[in-house]
Amino acid sequence: TALGKRCFGLMLLIFALPNAIPLPIPGVSTLTSLPLIFFSAQLALGRENVWLPQWLAKRSIAGNSLKLFLLRAIPWLARLEKVVKPRAESIGGRSSHRIAGGLILLLACLIALPIPFGNLPLGIAMTVLAPGITERDGWVMISGWLLTVFALVYFLFLIAGYGWLLWQALGLVS
Question: Which range has the worst mean pLDDT, 70-79, 88-97, 134-143?
Answer: 70-79
What 3 state SS string does 76-87 have?
A: HHHHHHHHCCCE
Would the pLDDT of 173 be above 60? no
Q: What is the pLDDT of residue 109?
A: 96
pTM above 0.95, yes or no: no
pLDDT level of residue 171 (50, 70, 90 thresholds): confident
- Average pLDDT value for residue range 51-57: 75
pLDDT level of residue 32 (50, 70, 90 thresholds): very high
Label residue 51 left, alpha or beta by phi (over 0 means left) and psi (-120 to 50 means alpha): beta
Q: What is the pLDDT of residue 172?
A: 65
Query: Is residue 36 within 8 Å of 104, Cβ to Cβ?
Result: yes
pLDDT level of residue 1 (50, 70, 90 thresholds): low
